[in-house]
Chains A and B, each alone.
Chain A
Amino acid sequence: MKRPIVTNCDDVRPLLPDFVLGSLEGAGDLDVRRHLRGCSGCRRELDALREGVGVFASTMERTAPTELHDRVMHVLAEEWTEADGSSRSRGHVPRGWRVTMAASLALAVVAATFGIVQLGRARDATDDAISFRTVLATLGGTGFKVGTLEAASPVPVEGSVVAYESSNDQSFVVVFVRTPELTGEGSLLVSRSDGTSWDPGPIEFDGDGDAAVWWVTDRSIASMTGLTVTTPDGATLATAGLRPA
């Protein structure tokens, strides 16, 4: 049975208290988010409710023990020291079985739903926003970003990028590339909205010029704006801009 689609203010406003307290999940959460994007009246109501939450939270303020400050700063310093070495995972996932299962499931759902393993269909898939929302409604999560690879040189390239952000502070990104007769280990670079970039690791082209790679990261996809694929000899092969699906 199809779930009812929440589309108007009368439907959305009763859901806002649960939404603002973070207890609205799944399809209802998505419906509210979608409605809020296009309704300033409900956004104002949401802001008012959020201010109320802030007032309520203020009633509980206490003076934290003085030693807690140093403890928290020390822990943050440790986090910062270790962050670069542990922020991503490729092929295996360090946070345990549950995340591995979620990654595999989402990857399978994405691939099965959109047929993006077959590159000929990738371009159509990126336009299918309704299907992306269906996947989100099924899996949960906060959103998708997609991009189509564009050749950076006369060498023909096809491919796509799909990035998915779960509700568990995990994101995963899958990249498919096909270019004739390229073999060996290329590289990837993810660009971000603040002008910085990061290297998610290599991508291996087989003898037919096909390559696919995925990774799980605790970095948000919100700041990811694009992807650059580089050939084994260091030339830029293709680029993709990432946009919300």
Chain B
Amino acid sequence: MPANELDADQRLMRSFAARDPGAADTLYRRFAGRIYGLGLVMLGSDAAAQDLVQDTFVKLWRNAERYDRSRGKLETWVLLMARSLAIDAIRRRVLEARTLERVDRPLEADPAPGPDDRVVTIDLTERARRAMSSLPPEQRAALELAYLGGKTSAEISDLEGIPIGTAKTRIRAALLRLRGSMASEVGHEEADRDEL
């Protein structure tokens, strides 16, 4: 990633830490859609997804000083934070369900109109989805279990009945393949533009 992009992210987080509403707005517009979508996928309801966005932004602000650009992209940091909160929410649900002895009931979907009605697919998302669909099923399954299910390689190994090394390899291969697919698409686009 270009150094100036990293610097821009560091400046953005410093401004956010210093309570700059403009920085908060920038972060919201950059990440809210992805956090909200993650919430829909992981938590299954519009209300829970909105709560996830709110909780993530509060946590993001409380930890803004901790952002260290040398440790990676802001995107990764924010979205893993959101994922971690979503996993916490799922665990709380399981705990509550156990407490109420209703473990056999599936999580209820939000009765409100589904957010799919107002889905706006943006280009980046579409490209990412194409990349995702190009993954072999076993790699995709391992990645979804790891990312959406919060499972470790060891847990995936147990669930899938595969050696732990295979689980690690599938997750790694899936991530590298996604990254490679996107880079390839961007490369083709740039080549197309150069030809015009």
B21 at the interface (CB under 8 A from A): yes
The contact of A49 among B79, B124, B165, B176, by CB within 8 Å, is B176
6 A-B interface contacts by CB (under 8 A): A57-B83, A63-B120, A64-B33, A65-B115, A76-B21, A79-B61
Q: Which residues of B contact A (CB under 8 A)?
A: 1, 14, 19, 21, 24-25, 28, 32-38, 40-41, 46, 50, 53-54, 57-59, 61-63, 65-66, 68, 72-73, 75-76, 79-80, 83-84, 115, 118-120, 122, 124-125, 127-129, 131-132, 143, 146-147, 150-153, 165, 168-169, 171-172, 174-179, 181-182
**A59 neighbours in B (Cβ, 8 Å):** 125, 128-129, 131-132
A143 to chain B, nearest CB (A): 11
A47 at the interface (CB under 8 A from B): yes
**A51 neighbours in B (Cβ, 8 Å):** 73, 175, 178-179, 182
Assess whether B120 is in contact with A53, with CB atoms less than 8 Å apart: no
A49 vs B147: C-alpha distance in the bound complex, in angstroms? 12
Assess whether A21 is in contact with B146, with CB atoms less than 8 Å apart: yes
Question: 1/0 contact trace for A64-86 toward B, CB 8 Å?
Answer: 11001101110111011001000
Q: Which residues of A contact B (CB under 8 A)?
A: 13-18, 20-24, 46-65, 68-69, 71-73, 75-77, 79-80, 83, 169, 194, 218-220, 222-223
Assess whether B132 is in contact with A56, with CB atoms less than 8 Å apart: yes
- Name the CB-closest residue of B to A142: B66
**B124 neighbours in A (Cβ, 8 Å):** 58, 61
A139 vs B153: C-alpha distance in the bound complex, in angstroms? 23
A13 vs B165: C-alpha distance in the bound complex, in angstroms? 11
**A77 neighbours in B (Cβ, 8 Å):** 21
Assess whether B65 is in contact with A55, with CB atoms less than 8 Å apart: no
Of residues A15, A49, A223, which shows the largest number of chain B Cβ atoms within 10 Å of its Cβ?
A: A49
A198 to chain B, nearest CB (A): 11
**B63 neighbours in A (Cβ, 8 Å):** 169, 220
- Name the CB-closest residue of A to B82: A57
The contact of B153 among A13, A17, A69, A220, by CB within 8 Å, is A17
Assess whether A49 is in contact with B172, with CB atoms less than 8 Å apart: yes
**A222 neighbours in B (Cβ, 8 Å):** 65-66, 68
Assess whether B50 is in contact with A64, with CB atoms less than 8 Å apart: yes
Contact A54 to B73, CB < 8 A, known contacts A62-B33, A63-B119: yes
Contact A62 to B36, CB < 8 A, known contacts A17-B153, A55-B182, A56-B175: yes
**A56 neighbours in B (Cβ, 8 Å):** 128, 132, 143, 147, 174-175, 178
Assess whether B168 is in contact with A18, with CB atoms less than 8 Å apart: yes
Assess whether B32 is in contact with A75, with CB atoms less than 8 Å apart: no
Assess whether A55 is in contact with B153, with CB atoms less than 8 Å apart: no
- Name the CB-closest residue of B to A23: B152
Assess whether A65 is in contact with B172, with CB atoms less than 8 Å apart: no
B28 to chain A, nearest CB (A): 6
**A48 neighbours in B (Cβ, 8 Å):** 175-176, 179
Assess whether A52 is in contact with B176, with CB atoms less than 8 Å apart: yes
- Name the CB-closest residue of A to B78: A57
- Name the CB-closest residue of A to B66: A220
A59 vs B126: C-alpha distance in the bound complex, in angstroms? 7
Q: A56-B132, A65-B115, A72-B53 are in contact. List 8 more A-B contacts (CB 8 A).
A: A17-B153, A21-B146, A55-B178, A60-B34, A61-B33, A72-B24, A75-B54, A169-B59
The contact of A71 among B40, B54, B181, by CB within 8 Å, is B54
The contact of A64 among B36, B62, B65, B72, by CB within 8 Å, is B36
**B54 neighbours in A (Cβ, 8 Å):** 68, 71-72, 75
Assess whether B41 is in contact with A52, with CB atoms less than 8 Å apart: no
A61 vs B122: C-alpha distance in the bound complex, in angstroms? 8
**B178 neighbours in A (Cβ, 8 Å):** 51-52, 55-56
Assess whether B34 is in contact with A14, with CB atoms less than 8 Å apart: no
